Amino acid sequence: MLRDEDRIFTNLYNDFGSDVDSSQKRGDWKDTKEIISKGKEWIINEIKLSELRGRGGAGFPTGLKWSFFSQRDWFQTTLSCNKR
């Protein structure tokens, strides 16, 4: 059986709230500070290694797209989110 800590979607049906405080209580943000401290180059390289691609039809590599953003001064103020 899948352990709770191995689940990607821990709040799929929004049973436990979707606000930041609820997410933090569930531990959804537990490694975020550590990941950010590794720097944008490390993060982008991890995305490239994952071979994650966009869903816009062309399947453009996400790591490559993010590398374009990282060359701008506003990279640190950019947040990319998907929500229905």
| pLDDT tens for each residue of 12-29 | 777 888 888 888 888 888
pTM of the model: 0.59
By residue count, the chain amounts to 84
pLDDT of the residue at 32: 84
Q: Does a structural domain hold residue 56?
A: yes
- Does 49 map to a domain? yes
Q: Return the DSSP state at 61.
A: B
pLDDT above 90 as % of the chain: 24
Q: Is residue 3 included in any domain, yes or no? A: no
Band (84; pLDDT cuts 50, 70, 90): low
In a domain, 47, yes or no: yes
Helix (H) / strand (E) containing 40: helix 40-50
Task: Assess whether pLDDT exceeds 80 at residue 44.
Answer: yes
Number of structural domains, the chain?
1
Containing domain of residue 51, as a range?
39-71
Averaged pLDDT, 7-13: 75
